[in-house]
Amino acid sequence: MASIAFIICQYGNVILNYTTLNLQSCKQAHPMTLVQPMYLDQINSLKKELHAIILAHNYQIPEVQDIADFIGDSLALSREAAKTDADIIVFCGVHFMAETASILCPEKTVLIPDLDAGCSLASTINSYELQKWKKEHPHAVVVSYVNTSAEVKALSDYCCTSSNAVKVVNSIPKDTEILFLPDMFLGSYVGQVTGRKNLYVWPGECHVHAGITTDDINNMFRKYNHAEFMVHPECGCTSSMLYGMACGDITKKAHILSTEGMMQHAKNSDSSQFVVATETGILYRMKKENPDKMFIPVNENAVCKYMKKITLEKVVDSLVHKQYEVKVPKHLADSARTAIERMLKIS
Ligand code: SF4
């Protein structure tokens, strides 16, 4: 049965008299999202009352991105967490990101709206496995991608994100062994770009990015040969992309970029069509910030079920009940902070 719905378009206008029956076609015709005014009002007044801020990752659902005070990748969100003067941070992302905020702001309350928002990549290594690996390479420096648990960060020398992994590795003396974890595609990309032979890579992967294959890219090259290609270095196709770029097989319009790098590139490039190889949630922000350009997912099944756990309803519950607090124990936070702060400096 049809019923009246409110739609708030990307410019914040409330549009009345759309029906739920034609809502889908409306959403396809216009880059708009459904943020129910009820939630908006409630979230805004709770934020004021509690002196809270909402941080959202680029892969969050559109409704959550729309109510966030700040949207970005892991690095940008860490920076924002470190500098906010809010008392409460509601972290709309996954658990390791909320832990990073707690490590950087131990005096603040960090909330995650759903405790099941985990990360398959972060789960590929734990502190016991890292301790064992370190024993095999006693002189190595440990560089951990930020997608790791607090325990793993506490055993690491540096953290990095996909935005600054190359810079972090280049900052370490060339003759020092490096243990890079946990993403093997990012690790192999960093190894190829820096030319380091003494960089050992943990065999972990993110199931979403690993699922973006060379076949996906090649199919899209055939279909959209005038578009620019933006590929995240966690993707399963990264090595073959680099190889293709080095051999000149792949058009010069291919770029390997972090999610924030993609946002910048989409804004600054003169191209009007982009094929995007990363989690599809970022396409909403891309379209919203660049309404005259076209963005196409290289694989529309690249969806992270953990990122999609957070809903507006859970954000409201999180603020009302101050749930679920993520607090990293002091001894771990103190050890992990050094590695994170080194990452924040090198970028
Ligand atoms: S997209 Fe991959 S790396 Fe990112 S949170 Fe999901 S599982 Fe983890």
Q: Is the CB of 206 under 6 A from ligand 1?
A: yes
Q: Which atom of ligand 1 is nearest to the CA of 234?
A: 3
pLDDT at 28 over 60: no
Predicted local distance difference test score (pLDDT) of residue 54: 98
Predicted local distance difference test score (pLDDT) of residue 124: 97
Q: Is the CB of 58 under 6 A from ligand 1?
A: no
Residue with tokens 């062994």: 177
Nearest-CA residue for atom 8 of ligand 1? 119
Distance 251 CA to ligand 1 centre (A): 28
Q: Does domain 209-297 have CATH number 3.40.50.10800?
A: yes
Predicted local distance difference test score (pLDDT) of residue 163: 84
Distance 208 CA to ligand 1 centre (A): 7
Distance 64 CA to ligand 1 centre (A): 17
Nearest-CA residue for atom 4 of ligand 1? 119
Q: How confident is the model at residue 250 (pLDDT cuts 50, 70, 90)?
A: low
Mean pLDDT across the stretch 323-346?
95
Would you list the DSSP string of 221-286?
HHH-TTSEEEE-TTSTTHHHHHHHHHHT-S-TTEEE--HHHHHHHHHH-S-SEEEEES-TTHHHHH
End-to-end CA distance of the chain: 53
Distance 173 CA to ligand 1 centre (A): 30
Whether 209-297 and 122-207 are alike in CATH topology: the answer is yes
Predicted local distance difference test score (pLDDT) of residue 246: 63
Distance 92 CA to ligand 1 centre (A): 13
The mean of the pLDDT values for the chain is 88
Q: What is the pLDDT of residues 149-181, one digit of tens each?
A: 999 999 999 999 888 899 999 999 999 999 999
Predicted local distance difference test score (pLDDT) of residue 176: 98
Q: What is the pLDDT of residues 53-68, one digit of tens each?
A: 999 999 999 999 999 9
Residue spans of the domains in the chain: they are 1-34, 122-207, 209-297
Count of CB atoms situated within 10 Å of the CB of 28: 9
Q: Is the CB of 147 under 6 A from ligand 1?
A: yes
Q: Is the CB of 279 under 6 A from ligand 1?
A: yes
Would you list the DSSP string of 26-72?
HHHHS--B---HHHHHHHHHHHHHHTEEEEEETTS-HHHHHH-SEEE
Q: H or E stretch including 17?
A: strand 14-19
Which of 87, 103, 86 has its CA nearest to residue 95? 103
Q: Is the CB of 310 under 6 A from ligand 1?
A: no
Q: How confident is the model at residue 346 (pLDDT cuts 50, 70, 90)?
A: confident
Q: Does domain 122-207 have CATH number 3.90.580.10?
A: no
Provide the 3-class DSSP secondary structure of residue 300: coil
Phi, psi values for residue 66, rounded to 5°:
-65, -25
Q: What is the maximum alpha-carbon separation in the chain?
A: 69
- Looking at per-residue confidence, does 44 or 13 come out higher? 44
Q: Is the CB of 162 under 6 A from ligand 1?
A: no
Q: What is the pLDDT of residues 187-196, one digit of tens each?
A: 999 999 999 9
Q: What is the pLDDT of residues 80-124, one digit of tens each?
A: 999 999 999 999 999 999 999 999 999 999 999 999 999 999 999
Mean pLDDT across the stretch 123-135?
98
Predicted local distance difference test score (pLDDT) of residue 240: 72
Predicted local distance difference test score (pLDDT) of residue 241: 75
Q: Flag whether the pTM goes above 0.95.
A: no
Predicted local distance difference test score (pLDDT) of residue 344: 87
Q: Tell me the two tokens of residue 119.
A: 């990360």
Q: Is the peptide bond before 59 cis (omega within 30 degrees of 0)?
A: no
* Rounded percentage of the chain residues whose pLDDT exceeds 90: 76
Range from 218-222, 234-238, 246-250, 271-275 that averages highest in pLDDT:
271-275
Mean pLDDT across the stretch 287-297?
97
For residues 74 and 279, is the Cβ–Cβ distance under 8 A?
no
Q: Is the CB of 152 under 6 A from ligand 1?
A: no
Mean pLDDT across the stretch 222-245?
85
The amino acid at residue 98 is A
* Rounded percentage of the chain residues whose pLDDT exceeds 70: 87
- Looking at per-residue confidence, does 91 or 214 come out higher? 91
Count of CB atoms situated within 10 Å of the CB of 12: 9
Mutating to test ligand 1, I would choose from 206, 234, 282 the residue with most ligand atoms within 8 A of its C-beta, which is: 206
pLDDT at 27 over 50: no
Nearest-CA residue for atom 2 of ligand 1? 206
